[in-house]
Amino acid sequence: MKQRNKLSEERKNRRVAIYCRVSTDQQDREEGGSLDTQEIRCREYCKFESHDIVEIYKDVASGGTMERPSLQRLFADAKEGNSS
């Protein structure tokens, strides 16, 4: 039981980044799949887990490629230690 509590406490107050993506502008306008809805759900999860959100990244781009501007910025920031 102590191990579980320790792991639970270690997960609290993590600095995290949120990444939201839709494939098309049309998908962004649809209820339930929009960038705003994704962000709200991620924010709620982070609040529940007591995580500190340091940045939010959003792309409207195909998931078939890693060449997405905000995703690449997230990777660069993480590598530099800006988001973790």
Give 14-77 as a DSSP string. Answer: -EEEEEEEESSHHHHHSTTTSHHHHHHHHHHHHHHHTPEEEEEEEEES-TT-S--HHHHHHHHH
Note down pLDDT in tens along the chain; length 84 residues: 566 555 566 667 899 999 999 988 887 777 677 999 999 999 999 999 999 999 999 999 888 889 999 999 999 999 998 754
Give me 68's structure tokens: 């997405």
Q: What is the pLDDT of residue 84?
A: 47
What's residue 33's pLDDT? 77
Amino acid making up residue 77:
D
Question: How many structural domains compose the chain?
Answer: 1
**Range(s) of the domain holding residue 20:** 2-80
Q: What is the pTM of this model?
A: 0.78
